[in-house]
């Protein structure tokens, strides 16, 4: 498997199984990063809290979050930026390729991921008004729709505008790894022709 393309590139398609396996890889990368970087931060900084959350990327557009940066140690801040950026890139890469499998543009992530994330970042500062209800409903429905669309629905059969069917490629690869012709057991047996055996009347003459 080409891991660089699988986890970091946005071209091509992946099937449902590859998407869920990518999420497992993402979880493993998150756990490993928390263990390694968190241990380093714990030893060199007075700050004892360290977490990586892809949703933290939306704090970049929040002025209130920028004003709180002085309370975070520089090593912790740089580690969280690097770790969150890596996890976000991997998540978007596998999600976009899964959308391609559904014959949908990767720009659907703006509705599936960006809009709900921005809404959650600013929801506590939005006014209590009836006109907010449709936006709140959309922020709740879109992630559920994304889960069904990306995680459970089958991709388009055959090639589409984003590339060949990954399931077809996997089947062809499995067939190509098998021998072109099955082993013929009968052809490997050495049969002795009847003429090689002694005639029926022939016998060994014993001495008196």
The answer to the question of residue 99 being in a domain is: yes
Mean pLDDT along residues 171-184 = 61
Q: Is residue 59 part of a domain?
A: yes
Cα–Cα distance between 125 and 134 in angstroms, integer? 16
Burial class (CB in 10 A: 0-12, 13-18, 19+), 200: exposed
**Residues 179-195, mean pLDDT to the nearest whole number:** 56
pLDDT at 46: 47
What ranges in 51-73 are assigned the alpha helix state H? Answer: 63-67
Q: What does the mean pLDDT of the chain come to?
A: 80
Total domains, the chain: 1
Q: Which domain does 139 fall in, by range?
A: 3-159
What average pLDDT does this structure show over 144-151? 96
pLDDT at 175 over 70: no
Q: Report residue 160: phi and psi, to 5°.
A: -130, -165
Domain membership of residue 198 (yes or no) is no
**Domain annotation covers residue 168:** no
Quote the pLDDT of residue 50: 57
pLDDT over 90 (residue 170): no
Q: How far apart are CA 51 and CA 35, in angstroms?
A: 10
| 205 assigned to some structural domain | no
Asked whether residue 175 is domain-assigned, the answer is no
Q: Using only C-alpha atoms, what is the Rg of the chain?
A: 31
The verdict on residue 188 lying in a domain is no
Q: Which residues contact 171 (CB under 8 A, 6 or more apart)?
A: none
Burial status of residue 72 (CB atoms within 10 A of its CB: 0-12, 13-18, 19 or more)? middle
In the predicted model, is pLDDT for residue 191 greater than 60? Answer: no
- pLDDT tens-digit readout, 82-136: 888 888 999 999 999 999 999 999 999 999 999 999 999 899 888 888 999 999 9
The pTM for the full model equals 0.76
Specify the pLDDT at position 120. Answer: 92
Residue 167 located in a structural domain: no
The percentage of residues in the chain with a pLDDT greater than 90, rounded to a whole number, is 46
Q: Percent of the chain beyond pLDDT 70?
A: 69
Q: What local confidence, expressed as pLDDT, does residue 1 receive?
A: 75
Question: What's the confidence (pLDDT) of residue 98?
Answer: 97
pLDDT band for 40, please (50, 70, 90 cuts).
low
């Amino acid at each position: 498997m080409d891991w660089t393309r699988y986890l970091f590139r946005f071209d091509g398609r992946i099937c449902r199984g590859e998407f869920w396996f990518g999420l497992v890889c993402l979880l493993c990368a998150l756990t490993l990063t928390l263990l390694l970087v968190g241990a380093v931060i714990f030893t060199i900084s007075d700050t004892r809290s360290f977490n990586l959350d892809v949703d933290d990327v939306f704090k970049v557009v929040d002025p209130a979050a920028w004003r709180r940066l002085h309370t975070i140690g520089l090593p912790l801040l740089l580690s969280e930026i690097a770790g969150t950026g890596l996890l976000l890139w991997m998540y978007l890469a596998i999600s976009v390729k899964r959308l391609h499998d559904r014959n949908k543009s990767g720009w659907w992530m703006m509705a599936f991921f960006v809009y709900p994330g921005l809404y959650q970042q600013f929801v506590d500062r939005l006014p209590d008004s009836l006109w907010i209800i449709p936006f709140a409903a959309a922020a709740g429905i879109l992630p559920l729709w994304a889960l069904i669309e990306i995680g459970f629905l089958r991709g388009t059969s055959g090639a589409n505008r984003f590339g060949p069917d990954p399931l077809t490629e996997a089947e062809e690869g499995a067939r190509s790894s098998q021998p072109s012709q099955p082993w013929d057991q009968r052809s490997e047996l050495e049969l002795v022709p009847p003429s090689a055996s002694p005639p029926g009347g022939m016998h060994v003459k014993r001495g008196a």
